[in-house]
């Protein structure tokens, strides 16, 4: 067992956890923040995507004790039913979900990819590595490729992200 403290969605927590506890399990089982989903438990589906210090990660692939003192944001920290994050509202408007299981991870990644593009971080499909990446369907699809939707709502997800990207431009 080990003590770990971190800030989740603006609230400081101190937990005593088995050192083998993943960040995902700490969030879901110990803090009852069940928005992040356990899909594959191997970092392949993206359903568990959260932010740690502003960067997206697969929370099933990291141990909670590795995040001592860090800031973690889950889907619950992005918005609330009465005050949705713009990306959450866009997913609703564009029907960017079907069963909804992957949606929290999809939304967290969608927010992150716009931050990555704004920070001029290139992707594998960025044609000019010296110029700022442009928000194109190919860029969006490449950057979202770590998030799998078994229902196939991909075109609607791209539409939602494109809408928010247009507002930020």
Q: What is the CATH number of the domain that holds 53?
A: 3.10.20.30
Nearest Cα residue to 114 out of 93, 136, 98, 131 = 136
**CATH number, domain with residue 142:** 1.10.150.120
Specify the pTM: 0.91
139 vs 152 pLDDT, higher one = 139
Nearest Cα residue to 52 out of 32, 26, 30, 29 = 26
DSSP letter for each residue of 80-146: BTTB--HHHHHHHHTT--SS-SSHHHHHHHHHHHHHHHHTT---TT-S-SSSPPP--HHHHHHHTTT
pLDDT(140) > 80 = yes
Average pLDDT over residues 128-149: 89
pLDDT(169) > 70 = no
Domains contained in the chain, number: 2
- Give the span between the Cα atoms of 29 and 36, in whole angstroms: 11
Assess whether 100 and 59 both reside in one domain. no
pLDDT(46) > 90 = yes
Question: Mind listing the pLDDT tens digit for each residue in 52-80?
Answer: 999 999 999 999 999 999 999 999 999 98
pLDDT, averaged across the chain: 92
Assess whether 27 and 70 both reside in one domain. yes
Q: What pLDDT is attached to residue 168?
A: 61
Assess whether 47 and 104 both reside in one domain. no
Assess whether 74 and 90 both reside in one domain. no
Nearest Cα residue to 76 out of 111, 112, 50, 44 = 50
Contact 22/15 with Cβ under 8 angstroms? no
Q: Is 1 exposed, middle or buried (0-12, 13-18, 19+ CB in 10 A)?
A: exposed
Domain of residue 124: give its range. 86-168
| Domain end (from 78, 108, 123) | 78
- What is the percentage of the chain residues whose pLDDT exceeds 90? 70
């Amino acid at each position: 067992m080990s003590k770990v403290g971190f800030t989740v969605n603006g609230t400081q927590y101190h937990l005593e956890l088995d050192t083998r506890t993943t960040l995902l399990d700490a969030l879901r089982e110990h803090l009852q923040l069940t928005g992040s989903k356990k899909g594959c438990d191997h970092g392949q589906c993206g359903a568990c995507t959260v932010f740690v210090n502003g960067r997206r990660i697969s929370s099933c692939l990291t141990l909670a004790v590795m995040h001592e003192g860090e800031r973690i944001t889950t889907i619950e920290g992005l918005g609330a039913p009465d005050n949705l994050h713009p990306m959450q509202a866009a997913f609703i408007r564009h029907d960017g979900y079907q069963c909804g299981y992957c949606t929290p991870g999809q939304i967290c990644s969608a927010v992150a990819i716009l931050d990555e593009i704004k920070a001029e971080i290139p992707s594998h499909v960025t044609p000019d590595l010296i110029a700022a990446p442009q928000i194109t369907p190919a860029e969006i699809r490449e950057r979202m490729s770590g998030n799998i939707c078994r229902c196939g709502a991909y075109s609607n997800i791209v539409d939602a992200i494109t809408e928010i990207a247009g507002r930020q431009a």
